[in-house]
């Protein structure tokens, strides 16, 4: 997750043209682009869970987590903020 987040941060900084991640940071809809994606991915995740398809559920969870990490980066946060919150509940 740390390596993926570092890649996301690099895409935010360098904005390569062929990068999907960079396209989320420069989207005309602003942060709504990634928020919409999170909505779609959560629906797909729920459908995979209902079908009890483990492979599909893992794939949809990965899609959701990736877009969540992009959102955290957009907000100037990082995975440590998420982990700190989880630890505070432990
Ligand atoms: N983990 C991901 C990842 N998960 C999902 N996606 C993209 O998220 C997009 C939307 O997912 P969907 O399931 O909705 O795909 P879709 O059905 O094609 O939907 P649309 O794109 O048509 O809306 C797809 O284009 C996926 O490729 C990701 N794109 C990138 N990453 C990671 O980010 C890294 C950098 O990627 P780039 O920014 O593209 O260089 C990659 O090496 C990966 O590690």
Q: How many A from CA of 47 to the centre of ligand 1? A: 19
- Name the residue with the closest Cα to ligand 1, atom 1: 66
When divided into structural domains, the chain yields a total of: 1
Local structure of 1: helix, strand or coil: coil
Q: Could you identify the atom of ligand 1 that is nearest to the CA of residue 23?
A: 38
H helices present in 1-90, as ranges = 2-14, 20-25, 32-51, 54-74, 79-89
ipTM of the assembly?
Answer: 0.89
Question: pTM of the entire structure?
Answer: 0.94
Residues with a CB atom less than 6 Å from ligand 1: 4, 7, 11, 19-22, 40, 63, 66
CATH number of 53's domain? 1.10.287.1080
Task: Note down pLDDT in tens along the chain; length 90 residues.
Answer: 999 999 999 999 999 999 999 999 999 999 999 999 999 999 999 999 999 889 999 999 999 999 999 999 999 999 999 999 999 999
Q: Which pLDDT score, from 0 to 100, does residue 52 have?
A: 86
Domain extent at residue 36? 2-89
Q: How far is CA 53 from CA 15, 58, 61, 79, in A?
A: 35, 9, 12, 27
């Amino acid at each position: 997750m740390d390596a993926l987040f570092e890649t996301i941060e690099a895409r935010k900084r360098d904005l390569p043209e062929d990068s999907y991640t960079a396209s989320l940071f420069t989207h005309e809809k602003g942060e709504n682009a990634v928020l919409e994606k999170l909505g779609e991915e959560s629906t797909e995740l729920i459908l995979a869970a209902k079908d009890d398809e483990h492979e599909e559920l893992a794939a949809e969870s990965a899609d959701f987590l990736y877009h969540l990490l992009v959102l955290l980066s957009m907000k100037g946060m990082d995975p440590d903020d998420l982990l700190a919150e989880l630890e505070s509940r432990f």
